[in-house]
A and B are shown apart, each in its own frame.
Chain A
């Protein structure tokens, strides 16, 4: 449709259109009526005229017939003239032989326009006939009628018809206009409201004018509802628009200020936006990058190989999905610099899922990757020596075990334990110990380097060496070389020279092994035995070796202890510590742990505690004893004795032990000062700092400590100054036989004297004879304990 047609189609109002259409319709109807009625009317008028002239001719013939038969010509003239005068006859002519008569009349005056006569095309009819009677002619008559009256009649009819048309048309127009005004009043109100809304006045509503037809009223109601809805929508849109602007601004600021680089492209991968961080990392300004391909601005290469990699944003646009490539890409900038990045690309989709563009977010990963590398290194390496750490070795052992089980490969594992390392630590401090370890492990690592050998630091002075795809002889050969080199090693520190011994426990991995614990246990067992053989020994694990079997038996206890815990077969015993002073009336006991075997027999702790200590189960024992004994105290308020409980070395070094004990105490209501803990001298010295912290923490609640097995260790008495213990419990080995062994007596006496000098009470254990007791009484020992005085008995339970 052309513009002109559109203009014409929209120029006229509904009013004009309807009126015009009805006007034309009425005109057409009247025209059709005129055609349908007028043309036949005209034809009928012509027919009437033709019939009339025939009628007149017949009438004249009849009138003159007798006169003609009688040859009475005057009568004929008279009859013709009379007829012509009375009827609209234009002329009549009669002739018979020589007699001719013609009667002419004056036609009626024309009161109609000539064009009308031409339009109706009615002609004056003529007729003539011969008067024959019995075959004899009596003359001829010719008649012409005047068509004027007929045309005049038609003209009058046409004028009336036209007046009727005009009148009807005017009436219809007025009626229709009135109807339109009444019925379209609501529509105009609707238009007014719509224009007001168009101008932005969304509060405008169409008024419900009186007289509107139901359709318009319903339309107006629907419009008002729609306007109300649109108003709400527009208000919501404006709110959302404002919020969107705020959000957009926030987003812009965020994008410009975030540490992440953001690149936005169109659907073809051509850049539309770079945020400042992206500009910084790519070296392109946003203006320079605009319209360039993302791969041009952000050329990526693989971090390892340097091979160009596909740009993730182009992949995301092509695949229409989020692409998160691995973090191995670096940007190779135009200035040659490379920046490690991690990136994520995502397509921007329209509502119908069509890709509209893409966004690439990437970060400068240089620092993080460096950190990650350091962390990875630290996770795998021992930070002091740079060797693999225990966890890495365990992983490698697990891998090796799979290799043995699945690929029949050969692996040898060697457990290395340094001797006398603690001496360096104790005498020269930890820094010296650390330096020693660094130097020594450097030597060890150098020997293991590049030989498919994996050297790891498993603990303080414990190491593991895994030989991959090696035979036992070859491994032993290497181990012997390593031993020799360590034995030659001299460590000098502050003018002191130290020689280190080393013990090796070797085991060969085989497919019968179930887990790495078994590998470690075998190697450890072998090493344990090697250590017992003296320094620089190498022991290969053999299942049938008696010494190793004993150690193995200890390991069997681990399972038995676990099962006993589950079956609640541990029981608490107590053994009295008798105060030799008559003024001390309070009863003192030591809480002891016993295991009831599956057969009901009581098993002494000497059988299972070493294994428990060795395999780290002692803290569990300690906590079990504390928890159950505290419960006993709480449920036996009549028992007012003081009790001493044993704490293992592992519990001492556990920083959570103090907190555990205090929490347990807080659950009950007994006096904590009735409680004391015994720690072995060896354990206390091994964890001197932790032990000191533990004693101080519990001492604040009135809990005392006793140094058990005092004198058994080889430590110096210097530790006594740091350990704020209340009791020294002289080792039973010195008490036993002291009555006849002067050295023991002297040692016990010295220890007792030292204790008292330091303000600590002394306890002698394992007193089994009266003589020993007498000696101790004479010596002034504060408490004695032993089978002579009281054999251990179950804790009384009601």
Chain B
């Protein structure tokens, strides 16, 4: 009898040990294709999960808008985005944990090097590609520059920024509204020569944010893990592999950031002439 009880105890123990904790959904704003996004972020999230002990699982929507909708709908716990700085979404309570160690992003209106357009006015009435109507540097900032320049163009939304750049490269559009870093990476990879007709002030790139329903401790562990990657050889290798998977010339680590680092976003949305889709 005693043996039977012991066997049952072991069985139950093993069952309890085998059940893994439910992972946090980590949403990533669709800047690239789903494959590239997953290829880049899955190694990082696996590393951070292992280092922080907080299980993270990539959860992205088909488009950036859908991903943002999931954030707004509360289906996600962590996110790498800059769509939550609009006035209405700021009220959802998400906080910045970290950001990529980059010089910041700028919104640009670019044309091909051989394009006859020399100024924004030359684009008047012409089709201009944008990632989606929710993108900050890929739509709001360049469209805001066009509107402030008094130029009305025909916006074409390609779904993501590289798609918009692809349309520019193929000549389907006269110009494209792009993130300067994404554009530079794209042009380098595709050996594409282009000219910048308008460029915004710098903004920090997307931020690693945490939902208010995640404990602060977990959020902090996740922040530490992100920030520690650049100092950890294993983390460096993960970053390098992630960068290579999408063709980036060098890996970018993460640094600690908070809501103040993204105050210019709030400011932009307050004075922009572009209608904000929330």
Which residues from chain A sit less than 8 Å from chain B, CB to CB? 65-66, 69-71, 133-136
Contact = CB atoms under 8 A, between A and B. Distances in A.
B35 A133 contact: yes
Contacts of B41: 134
Contacts of A134: 38-43, 46, 58, 242, 245
Nearest to B61: A70
Given A69-B58, A133-B42, 15 more contacts: A65-B34, A65-B35, A66-B62, A69-B38, A70-B34, A70-B60, A133-B35, A134-B39, A134-B40, A134-B58, A135-B42, A135-B46, A136-B38, A136-B45, A136-B46
A135 B50 CA distance: 13
B61 A69 contact: no
A66 B58 CA distance: 13
B63 to A, nearest CB: 11
A614 to B, nearest CB: 166
Given A134-B38, A134-B39, A136-B38, A70 B62 contact: yes
A69 B27 CA distance: 12
Interface residues on B, range: 10 to 19
A70 B43 CA distance: 17
A748 to B, nearest CB: 191
Contact of B39 (A66, A70, A71, A133): A133
Contacts of B40: 134
A251 to B, nearest CB: 123
Nearest to B47: A135
A611 to B, nearest CB: 165
Contacts of B45: 136
A2 to B, nearest CB: 81
A136 B34 contact: no
A71 B70 CA distance: 14
Nearest to A65: B35
A69 B40 CA distance: 13
Best-buried of A66, A133, A134, A136 by chain B (most CB within 10 Å): A134
Contacts of A66: 34-35, 62
Nearest to A75: B62
A135 to B, nearest CB: 5
Given A134-B40, A134-B41, A136-B58, A69 B35 contact: yes
Nearest to B62: A70
Q: Which 10 A-B pairs have the closest CB atoms?
A: A134-B42, A136-B42, A133-B38, A134-B39, A69-B34, A66-B34, A69-B38, A134-B43, A135-B43, A134-B38
A136 to B, nearest CB: 4
Contacts of A136: 38, 42, 45-46, 58
Contacts of B242: 134
5 contacts: A70-B61, A134-B58, A134-B245, A135-B42, A136-B42
Contacts of A65: 34-35
Contacts of B60: 69-70
B240 to A, nearest CB: 13
Nearest to A70: B62
Contacts of A71: 59
A68 to B, nearest CB: 9
Interface string B243-261: 0010000000000000000
A70 B38 CA distance: 10
Interface in B42-58: 42-43, 45-46, 58
B44 to A, nearest CB: 8
A320 B172 CA distance: 124
Contacts of B245: 134
Interface string B1-44: 00000000000000000000000000000000011011111110
Contacts of B59: 71
Nearest to A71: B59
A138 to B, nearest CB: 8
A535 to B, nearest CB: 180
A106 B160 CA distance: 41
Nearest to A72: B62
Nearest to B57: A136
A65 B37 CA distance: 12
A134 B46 CA distance: 9
B123 to A, nearest CB: 33
Nearest to A66: B34
B269 to A, nearest CB: 29
A568 B38 CA distance: 169
Contacts of B58: 69, 134, 136
Nearest to B37: A69
A69 B60 CA distance: 8
Best-buried of B42, B61, B245 by chain A (most CB within 10 Å): B42
B54 to A, nearest CB: 16
A210 B34 CA distance: 86
Contacts of B39: 133-134
A61 to B, nearest CB: 11
A716 B160 CA distance: 197
Nearest to A132: B42
A136 B46 CA distance: 8
Best-buried of B34, B37, B46, B242 by chain A (most CB within 10 Å): B34
Nearest to B242: A134
B30 to A, nearest CB: 11
Nearest to B33: A66
A500 B72 CA distance: 206
A69 B66 CA distance: 14
Contacts of A69: 34-35, 37-38, 58, 60
A71 B41 CA distance: 16
B245 to A, nearest CB: 7
A133 B40 CA distance: 9
A135 B58 CA distance: 12
A71 B60 CA distance: 9
A130 to B, nearest CB: 14
A430 to B, nearest CB: 171
B58 to A, nearest CB: 7
A70 B59 CA distance: 7
A70 B242 CA distance: 20
B70 to A, nearest CB: 11
A60 to B, nearest CB: 15
A239 to B, nearest CB: 112
B238 to A, nearest CB: 9
Contacts of A135: 42-43, 46
Interface string B212-242: 0000000000000000000000000000001
Contacts of A133: 35, 38-39, 42
B43 to A, nearest CB: 5
A135 B40 CA distance: 10
Contacts of B35: 65-66, 69, 133
Nearest to B238: A135
